[in-house]
Amino acid sequence: MSSLNRKIHFLGTKIRSLRKLHGLTLEDMVVRCMQVDDKNTPSISYLSLIETGRRNPSENLLLLLSQIFQKDLEWFLDDTIQDEPLENNKTDSNIDSMSLEPNFLFSKEILESAIPAVLSQTGTSGRQFAHILIRSYQEKNKNQFPDIERIAEEVGDKRMPLSVEDIMDLCVYHGLKIKWFKSERFSTSDDSGRVIKTLFRSFYDTPNILYLNKELKNQPARLKYDLACLLGHKILHNGDGILSSHATGGVIGGSPKPFEHKSSHIQQKDILYAWRDFECSFFAGALLCPKVPFRHFLNRESYSISSFKKMKITPSVLMRRMTSVSTYKHWHYFDAYPPGYLRAVYRGNGVSIPWGNMRLVTDPCKHWSIFKVLNNTKIKKPYSQLSLLKDEDRQSLYASVSIRTRDAAKNPHVISTGIDLGPAIESQGLDKDELFNDIYSSCLGGNGDILLNETIRNQLLKVARTLNISWAEDAIDNTCSIICPRSTNCPRPNSCEKHPSSNKNFSWLNEIKSEIIKKGRKRK
């Protein structure tokens, strides 16, 4: 092989390694190129020839790739290859977990009796526990469920966007009948006793009737979602009727009736209904936003939150599908209702939860972007924030965007999605820990909130531009804030909340024990 051929082959290998490093297919790469410079965009086949060393890329193409991946042109011409792909499937160590040891205490028989007792004593309902199980399963799988994706794509033929009429035609094709009913908003209480406004939207009546509230005719984006969910029940479960009704403003799986008895005992039907609800919801998202076409759409839109308007879907569906279709898997998603109840949570990146979605705690960290928007009604537009999470000795950096919206019952709430920037920072060859320490020191100088200096911002902007996420760029240009899981352990120089001193607890007994032993040794 001549020297020139070796250089061409090496360059092609380097380009292929860079593409795979960021989890892109050849088609994804071409879409990104078209977004930046359609005149110099190669075809998929030509890009494949370049990667296999059978074609030499032009200088214009190298300049285009350097812009996409935020690399200097010289980087493509040196003799190094970074061949470690992003660990998208790695289980995030930030998610709380425990070892089930010793084995005899965590046997199937013991857990079958212990779990109901724990739920009863903590006031956790069977439905809540079922959704925690499913959420953990989602996070473990990075929101990847290819079987449901495939079925939805076969039903919808990967068409996008689908209109209300398109989905109704699919329902009719699969033997479903649609009936309309009239039901206005009403007030009830959720599992925590909080009074809420609820709209009963839709339900499935076996074997093949879909009942839809006439109110949804004025909300086509939500109507499409409900139709898609109910169609999913017919496709996935043969329409057997084991599916929760759709009600907005209540708890997941529908709103309870006034004065309904709330059981803390877990029943098998709680698990079954929760899993069916999840499958139908995921099917609806995959039908409305088929994976590959939707990912290309997001790339063209630079993951703009406002792009839900072009797709004619709800912003919630847009955000949740982002976490599933993106080649970057380190996402989270929150849905919060006033004054701070987290109704929906997904933590594929292992981000801490500022407080649980079952009850409101007394020591929240008010600096999370979602709660800034929730507590400040003057924020009307999407709000982007860069956040350094400080949890004891662990530091993580997140970019997030939050938007205020209303549900079908007109209840105000805030939805938020974000990414862990750590893996992307490492893919740029930067020292993550050193960068986080610099950011933390800078934030401390501003009592927890500061606009980062130009050097740090430029490093982070390269990361955001490589990911092609516009609101991450916006977050980097805004003030960076230190956040924490609970404000009782606030890492800021001046604690943002004042809390009364805690009474001595069990962990203090070890200190007393040590003092007694120390005094005993001195007497000897």
Note the CATH number of domain 328-489: 3.30.450.20
What does residue 207 show for φ and ψ, rounded to 5 degrees?
-95, -20
- Segment 136-165, tens digit of pLDDT: 899 989 999 999 999 999 999 999 999 999
Tell the residue number behind the tokens 């990361």, with chain if given. Answer: 463
What's residue 91's pLDDT? 46
Kindly tell me if the per-residue pLDDT of 90 is higher than 60: no
- Segment 325-350, tens digit of pLDDT: 999 999 999 998 888 788 888 998 88
Domains of the chain: which residue ranges? 3-77, 117-293, 328-489
Model pTM? 0.86
Residues 186-201, mean pLDDT to the nearest whole number: 78
* Average pLDDT of the chain, as a whole number: 85
Kindly tell me if the per-residue pLDDT of 231 is higher than 70: yes
Tokens of 252: 């997941």
DSSP string for 152-212: HHHHHTT-SSPPHHHHHHHHHHTT-EEEEE----EEEE-TTS-EEEEEEEEEEETTTEEEE
- Segment 431-486, tens digit of pLDDT: 999 999 999 999 998 889 999 999 999 999 999 999 999 999 999 999 999 998 87
What's residue 499's pLDDT? 52
Note the CATH number of domain 3-77: 1.10.260.40
C-beta neighbour count of 394 within 10 angstroms: 11
- Three-state SS for 469? coil
493: preceding bond cis by omega (within 30 degrees): no
